[in-house]
Chains A and B, each alone.
Chain A
């Protein structure tokens, strides 16, 4: 009888050490995916509840953050499907990015708010990859698993997303008379 209790305590201790400290990171990704804070908190809660249930499937000392975000993306797709929000990425978005030519470096005077606004303007498919790869520092393989796309697609979207973002920031800076560095 006590053995079962101890086992549960050990499981919780492992979960508390590996998964719980990553709550803020998971929330940040959820907040990026969800339309508002309330849904981001719901999504974070569901992710951790699901992770706790399936924690026996997690291999200790591997990348727990990537494991949690995989669950998060899976739950988010289910939610979107239920709400009928699921949209397929269209090729036209990639065609737009293909037209981006040489881009000068971004000016240092730009504020964080302006960078966030430019990021919000990126087509969803590119923004997803830029956020997951450049901000959250997941590997190409991990990003490909979250988004259920081939690694090659991750690479091309990242490259085009970065270019497009740089283009937008440079245009923005130019419109306010801020010169690019270098």
Chain B
């Protein structure tokens, strides 16, 4: 085999697509030709580097929560007996009339049940609201010197937020499975609803001009849900930016002191935390970007998130 012939089939050799006989010829040629060995090594290096770069890019990793949800949905679909399989299996005693009657009864039952459940849950919500209001009335008035109390309250809640960022956004090892923001809006507070949309829209305005065209420079949502860390529930929007995960966390918090417009920044462990508050909520932006970048993100989303929370409170 001549060098020119080898160069023509180098790609097929590398992809293991040559016939066994041709492969032997190539190997024989390589034994005696240093130039072709170098050329092959260069091809192989390129392939290894490209493979490692694409497979290792954080952007290319599947979101474990998405994977788990998809698997659960598929399992449910696979194992859910359809009406047709029930008919085929004789569950309806091979009688179409009986089948139709049973289906009608089931439909009626479901509709009645849904109606009943809805009215029952409305009762619970009304009862809960009443309890919350009476609890608010019982809450003692603010102490005149609140600086230390405010600081202690922030410290505790910030610690939980950082823990949630580490255990949820970075390592996916929460004890309790997260639920969707939609579900959380029904159960834990209207502010959860569409929080992800508010966050990403407010950031797109700021980041759209800055993107250099690289995929990793675009800010995008990696995951949005409601999760619990050490008993504290957070609305959690995980963003992906420059191959890093950024957590935006919102939680109900009865912080003492005035509701102000300040955004405070601090370093905790290896991350930066930018935080601000509304009357009844604490909002955190946590990432391992620089402190400045982290604050820019917090500043960009603060007005929209404040409005989002205020509107949801007003509508609650």
Contacts and interface: CB of A to CB of B under 8 A. Distances in A.
- Real binding pair: yes
Interface of A: 1, 3-5, 8-9, 11-12, 15-16, 20, 23-24, 27-28, 31-32, 36-38, 41, 44-45, 48-49, 52, 104-106, 108, 110, 112-113, 115-117, 119-120, 130-131, 133-135, 139-140, 155, 158-159, 162, 165-166, 169, 182
Contacts of B60: 27-28, 31-32
Interface in B60-82: 60-63, 66-67, 70-71, 73-75, 77-79, 81
Contacts of A116: 53-54, 57, 215-216
Nearest to B56: A112
B89 A3 contact: yes
Given A37-B240, A139-B17, A11 B78 contact: yes
Interface of B: 11-12, 15, 17, 38, 41-43, 45-47, 49-57, 59-63, 66-67, 70-71, 73-75, 77-79, 81, 85, 88-91, 214-216, 218, 220-222, 240
Contact of A182 (B38, B61, B63): B38
Chain A interface mostly helix, strand, loop or mixed?
Answer: helix
B11 A45 contact: no
A38 B91 CA distance: 41
A140 B62 contact: no
Nearest 10 A/B pairs, CB to CB? A105-B42, A112-B53, A12-B78, A27-B62, A4-B89, A115-B53, A1-B89, A24-B62, A159-B11, A135-B54
A141 B313 CA distance: 59
A9 B75 CA distance: 9
Given A41-B66, A140-B15, A115 B75 contact: no
A48 B79 contact: no
A37 B54 contact: no
Contacts of A15: 74, 78
A130 B51 CA distance: 10
